Amino acid sequence: MTALLLLALAASGDLASQVKAKLDPAPVQQGTFEQAKQVKGFKRPLKSSGTYVVTKGQGVQWNTQKPFPSELTVKAEEISSMANGAEVFRLDAKAEPTVRLITQLLFSLLAGDLSALEAHFTASGEVKAEGWHIELQPKSEALKKVFASITLDGDRAVRSVLLKELNGDSTAITLSPSPPVGGAGGGAGRP
């Protein structure tokens, strides 16, 4: 039993290093997204699309353009949302400690940082020449109350994220990264 556990942990660590080796190390990742939220009991998914910028070590800027313009900014210590030039909400990690967990998970998911995700999820998957596929199962009771599973697919960048919630809802996000701005590894993004 112990040998099987050690083998599983070694394989998981190997999976993380293989995925990391495939990912583009650019400090700024940006592109467009399409998101479809399937809510249990509704026939059609709720769809949105827009642009995103992920700046390593700083945050995520999620700009929804359709169906309604809005801007979500995620930094290590806060999450804020703007619509029509007005602040919709601001959550601070000092006042609400779960904000830090949410921001860490979001950064890790969008960056494909499997090493960071393994603190909260059990990972399995495969890496092939053309890309990689990861299945994440929540470890903590808190996350098990929300997520049934999370699936990531990608190549040099994360291309899709599928969040399956315990309540039967799911969110599918397709990411289409843009080439770096200003040459290799550069970017003009701002979270």
Which pLDDT score, from 0 to 100, does residue 13 have?
57
Residue with tokens 């801007």: 71
Neighbours of 121 (CB within 10 A): 24
> Is 141 within the bounds of a domain?
yes
Q: Is residue 172 part of a domain?
A: yes
- pLDDT, one tens digit per residue, over 27-59 is 999 999 999 999 999 999 999 999 999 998 888
Ranges 20-24, 84-88, 107-111: which has the least confidence: 107-111
User: Mean pLDDT across the chain, nearest whole number?
Assistant: 85
Phi first, then psi: give them for residue 20, nearest 5 degrees: -60, -40
What pLDDT score does 14 carry?
Answer: 84
Return the structure tokens found at 62.
């999620």
In the 3-class helix/strand/coil scheme, how is 76-106 assigned residue by residue? Answer: CCEEEEEECCEEEEEEECCCCCHHHHHHHHH
Position 61 in a domain: yes
Percent of the chain with pLDDT over 90: 56
Structurally, the chain folds into a number of domains equal to: 1
Query: Scanning the structure block, which residue is given the tokens 């083998």?
Result: 7
Residue 183 lies in a domain: no
Residue 84 contacts residue 69 (beta carbons within 8 Å): yes
In order, the DSSP letters of 130-143 are: TEEEEEEEE-SHHH
For residue range 98-134, list pLDDT tens digits in order: 888 888 888 888 887 878 888 889 999 999 999 999 9
Question: At 87, which CATH number?
Answer: 2.50.20.10
- Is 70 exceeded by the pLDDT of residue 75? yes
Is pLDDT of 8 > 80?
Answer: no
Range with the lowest mean pLDDT among 14-23, 122-131, 163-172? 14-23
Structural domain includes residue 57: yes
Q: 184 lies in a domain?
A: no
Confirm whether 130 is domain-assigned: yes
Nearest alpha carbon to residue 104 among 90, 120, 88:
120
Share of the chain above pLDDT 70, in %: 87
* Residue 181's pLDDT band (cuts 50, 70, 90): low
Spatial contact of 71 and 50, defined as CB atoms under 8 Å apart: no
Q: What is the pLDDT of residue 191?
A: 57
- Label residue 179 by pLDDT band (50, 70, 90): confident
Contacts of 27 (CB under 8 A, 6+ apart): 55, 56, 57, 185, 187
Residue 57 is part of which domain span?
2-177
